[in-house]
């Protein structure tokens, strides 16, 4: 139980269905960063308050050390290398569906339950009914074994329905806003978090599509492909980041939305993960290259090496970013897996 409305209603629904439910709050991050307060105390109190309302046992698992080592440290190393990682994917893979799952099982649980918007059917992962809230993008690296030991009751509900249930039950979190920002860390802007963790960055040149110096950036690692805001390049048409040279600390931009540097017709993936084994080639597949991006049909899927894959797409995709996840679905909303964009 995170202290949010989704996990609160998850606990309530499971109790209504006759499960013996124990609420668990994961304490993964408690530090305030760069003047931004961590909300863990408020979240902890809200989770505990709902557990009291539901009359269920309540526990705290302290994973702060493991979260820093297995999520934050990896995330920082990826940014240092010029890539843009997704901490939510990392957290699900290493903390929620590995460390938390194993700790809960060792603690006597038969299964775990989460407030994710996703559907589990026959050991397979499917998109949620509420496409606006669907979270399968963040779950594609979870193992089939972990999913077989998990319940996700919210997959057939919409967010308004969950809010309505919470209000009907008078849960303390019924009107609480959804959390934003970095997984478990809070609403601090990523650039400020990186500077706080890695130290001040060296400024460098911003070069446009004509090779002209158009401004100065705050540190190459702080920018991502397709980024428009925060470039501090004034006047005229907006600029978009098309590339980064981490070694020379340069940022490359364009004012042309049709610039070929912004678009990709094929994507190479590394660190491939298939939930239920690789596709057999008989189904149509599509890929999402970022959370909530429109799925694009895959016309070719070629294995380059043991853990590397090239996808050919039916149409060009904008702002494909190294380090982000490309998540692959069958046409029936079945999430089969994916990999990290290289």
Residues marked as catalytic: 91, 183
d(Cα 132, Cα 68) in Å, to the nearest integer? 30
Nearest to 220 by CA among 181, 189, 252, 192: 252
User: In this structure, how many other beta carbons lie within 10 angstroms of the beta carbon of residue 326?
Assistant: 28
In which order are the strands placed within the sheet that holds 204-207?
213-217, 204-207, 250-254, 240-245
The DSSP symbol for 110 reads S
Which run of H or E residues covers position 125? strand 124-126
* Per-residue buried b or exposed e for 222-252, using 16+ beta carbons within 10 Å of the residue's own CB: bbbbebeeebebeeeeebbbbbbeeeebbbb
Write out the DSSP string of 147-198.
HHTEE-GGGGS-HHHHHHHHHHTT-TTTTPPPP-SBTTTBS--HHHHHHHHH
CA torsion angle 97 166 50 89 (round to 10): 20
Are 137 and 119 contacting, i.e. CB atoms less than 8 angstroms apart? no
């Amino acid at each position: 139980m995170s202290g949010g409305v989704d996990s609160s209603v998850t606990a309530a629904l499971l109790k209504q269905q006759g499960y013996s439910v124990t609420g668990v709050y994961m304490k993964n991050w408690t530090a305030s960063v760069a003047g931004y307060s961590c909300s863990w105390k408020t979240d902890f109190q809200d989770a505990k308050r709902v557990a009291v309302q539901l009359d269920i046992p309540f526990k705290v698992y302290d994973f702060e050390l493991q979260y820093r080592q297995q999520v934050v440290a990896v995330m920082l190393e990826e940014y240092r290398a010029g890539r843009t990682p997704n901490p939510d994917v990392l957290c699900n893979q290493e903390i929620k569906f590995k460390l938390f799952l194993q700790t809960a099982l060792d603690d006597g649980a038969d299964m775990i339950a989460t407030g994710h918007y996703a559907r589990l059917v026959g050991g397979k992962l499917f998109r949620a009914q509420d496409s606006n809230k669907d979270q399968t993008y963040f779950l594609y690296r979870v193992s089939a074994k972990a999913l077989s030991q998990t319940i996700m009751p919210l997959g057939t509900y919409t967010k308004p329905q969950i809010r309505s249930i919470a209000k009907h039950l008078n849960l303390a979190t019924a009107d609480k806003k959804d959390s934003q920002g970095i997984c478990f860390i809070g609403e601090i802007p990523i650039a400020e978090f990186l500077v706080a963790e890695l130290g001040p960055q060296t400024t460098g040149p911003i070069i446009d599509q004509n090779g002209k110096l158009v401004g100065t950036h705050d540190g190459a690692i702080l920018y991502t492909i397709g980024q428009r805001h925060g470039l501090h390049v004034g006047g005229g048409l907006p600029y978009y980041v098309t590339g980064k040279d981490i070694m020379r600390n340069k940022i490359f931009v364009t004012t042309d939305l049709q610039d070929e540097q912004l678009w990709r017709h094929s994507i190479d993936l590394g660190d491939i993960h298939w939930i239920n084994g690789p596709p057999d080639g008989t189904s149509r597949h599509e890929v999402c290259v970022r959370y909530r991006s429109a799925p694009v049909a895959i016309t070719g899927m070629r294995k380059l090496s043991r853990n590397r894959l090239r996808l050919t797409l039916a149409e060009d995709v904008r702002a494909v970013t190294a380090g982000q996840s490309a998540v692959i679905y069958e046409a029936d909303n079945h999430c089969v897996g994916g990999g990290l964009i290289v």
